[in-house]
Structure 1
Amino acid sequence: MGIDKLLLRREPPDPYLCQPIRTDRFVLANCNLRDAIKVTAPWRADPEILENLMYGQRSYSAFAWVRSVGRPDGQTRFFHAIMPKEGGGTIGAHRLSINRSGTVSLAIVIHARSWWGKGVFEEVRRGIMDHFAVSERVTRFEGHVLARNVSSIYNYQKLGFRLVGYENKSWLSPFSETLLDTVQFEMMADDWIAQRHIKVDADDR
């Protein structure tokens, strides 16, 4: 097989990582591309969401949003729809990517504002990290947020993440046309497993 074909070949979805995740109040359903576009559709014209996620445009057409979302492949890119067990539809989504070094980049949006302040971030993030931390493909978790995003910073600190970087004027906002500071957090997978007293099953690794 030629090198070009090898580079184009996609690994099949990871059967463990693609399983639905259940927390006390929510089901976190792994999304295909169609589902990911649907559950993130409220993001594409919401200035507050787009700025907090550090997107480069003020708004997105439906076509541009499809390209921006990227294709969830069950290997390196995942989207999870956040659905209350009590019903009522999707209230948000969690985005996750894994690079070749095993670093997992995390982002979450609760677009149903009636759920703000009700501990959704913490519960969902714990469920996601409990699930992914035991995979042999995962070594660390990271979060990258605006320095003025106080609620996200509070939630990362509450979960035990370490502040590992402060970047002055590192992101140009398309909304205000000003340079904004950003901060970086990390949590090693092994530290999370120890902190949460997770029993690692060899089959998961």
Structure 2
Amino acid sequence: MKRPAATRVGLGDPLETARFILRPLGYIEAFRLTASWRNDPEVLIALFQSLKPRSLRKWMRSPLLPRPKVRFAYAIIDRESGRSIGVHTVALSGYRSAYFTVAVSDRDWWGKGAVLETRATLINHFIRHAGTERFFGMVHGRNLSSIFNYQRLGFSHVGSWHRHKQDPVSGEIFDVVLFELFREQWQAGPFAEAIDEP
């Protein structure tokens, strides 16, 4: 299988965790892997805070799909079965900053720490190969599992946008919660890997 072209040395390499292989995806492969999720209500609510299905055209701009130089997508492959259980992306944004988007489509893996394990590996990887110094994330206030993952990884809650979004299907209005982590915080925590300085 041809490896997707990496725009920075190392970012196109596969990664390994205790339970998973993170396999880099090109745009077409990522689109094929995720296209059926555009009608999955639980994936949609996690990604977009709405049950509204996405057209194929809209899905082509999904945050789960890679974009040259700025967004990198990785299939989360269960080592035991060899199957993909989801996709995790890292998008470069701002000064040496990055944010995450993830969808675990395999319900058998929900609540079993897959996001925590893969995100920790990606943070180490992007510090090492992209020089990332700041990571941030935004989740809706109802998404308790995502909030837990950010807190467990050492992210700080830096604010909330109250009554920021409305689900066009249900009409529900909800908050967005903001998290941030700096490289020095990460390196003082339990998940950091040693980084060789030049």
Q: For residues 2-21 of structure 1, what are the structure 2 equivalents within 5 Å?
A: 13-21=7-15
SS at match of 1:68: coil
How many residue pairs get aligned? The number is 193
SS at match of 2:72: strand
Rounded to whole Å, the distance in 2 between the matches of 1:82 and 1:190 is: 27
Partner of residue 51, structure 1? 45
- Counterpart of 1:168 (choices 142, 159, 162) is 162
> Letter of the aligned partner of 1:21 in structure 2?
L
Partner of residue 145, structure 1? 139
Deviations 1:168-200 (A, max 9, x none): 111121221232111011111232123245221
Partner of residue 66, structure 2? 72
- How many percent identity over aligned positions? 34
Is contact 2:39–2:53 with CA below 8 Å preserved after alignment? yes
Rounded to whole Å, the distance in 1 between the matches of 2:100 and 2:170 is: 25
TM-aligned CA distance change 1:92 to 1:12, over 3 Å: closer
TM-score (norm 2): 0.87
Is contact 2:8–2:130 with CA below 8 Å preserved after alignment? no
Rounded to whole Å, the distance in 2 between the matches of 1:70 and 1:89 is: 18
Rounded to whole Å, the distance in 2 between the matches of 1:88 and 1:76 is: 28
- Counterpart of 1:91 (choices 59, 63, 85) is 85
> Letter of the aligned partner of 1:97 in structure 2?
A
Structure 2: any 5+ residue segments left out of the alignment? none
Task: Give 1:116 shift.
Answer: 1.1
SS at match of 1:134: helix
TM-score (norm 1): 0.84
Structure 1: any 5+ residue segments left out of the alignment? 1-10
SS at match of 2:61: helix
What CA RMSD, in Å, does the superposition of the two structures yield over aligned residues?
A: 2.3
Task: Give 1:112 shift.
Answer: 0.3
Structure 1 moving runs of 4+ over 6 Å: none
Deviations 1:110-156 (A, max 9, x none): 10001112211111111111111224541211110011111111111
